[in-house]
Amino acid sequence: MPTVAAIFVGGALCSPGVSAHNAGTGWYYPPSCCNGDGALGDCQMIPANSVTEAPDGFAVVLFPGDHHLVTRKQSFRIPYGSEIRSSDGNYHICLYPTQATVFCFFAPPGSV
């Protein structure tokens, strides 16, 4: 399973007026994680059963339909400490510049 080479650990969440897109659950992704327009970018909530916790980090396996950019199975390893806290209790991932590259990963509080 490939290790994510670089994950941007962003700052605070932004307000709706800033260039970011809505997570769909009442908060906005940090603009530093977003690529695309305000309605649809590279970030999206992913199913909780796509994420497991391993001794060295989060193991994420996505299939087509789990994220709008994924067209084939993708596997990622996100080292602990690289995740950003999600504000809605769900997992989210930003894939950029390709579906095979994690740019930002969000995990709910208490997931580690």
| Distance separating alpha carbons of residues 62 and 32, to the nearest angstrom | 23
Of residues 1 and 102, more confidence is placed in: 102
Give the contacts of 81 (CB within 8 A, at least 6 positions apart). Answer: none
- The per-residue pLDDT for 40 is 60
Q: Is the pTM higher than 0.85? A: no
Q: Answer yes or no: is 78 within a domain.
A: yes
Q: What is the pLDDT of residues 51-108, one digit of tens each?
A: 999 999 999 999 999 999 999 999 999 999 999 999 899 999 999 999 999 999 999 9
Evaluate the CA torsion angle 98, 92, 42, 17 in order and state its sign: negative
* Lowest pLDDT segment from 17-21, 29-33, 79-83, 96-100: 17-21
- The per-residue pLDDT for 6 is 40
Q: Distances in Å between the alpha carbon of 83 and those of 6, 71, 80, 86, 106?
A: 11, 24, 7, 9, 5
Q: Which amino acid is at 93?
A: I
H or E element that contains 61: strand 57-62
Q: Please give the tally of structural domains in the chain.
A: 1
Residue ranges making up the domain that contains 45: 31-107
Q: Answer yes or no: is 43 within a domain.
A: yes
Q: Answer yes or no: is 8 within a domain.
A: no
Q: Answer yes or no: is 24 within a domain.
A: no
| pLDDT above 90 for 36 | no
Quick one: residue 46, left, alpha or beta (phi over 0 = left, psi -120 to 50 = alpha)? beta
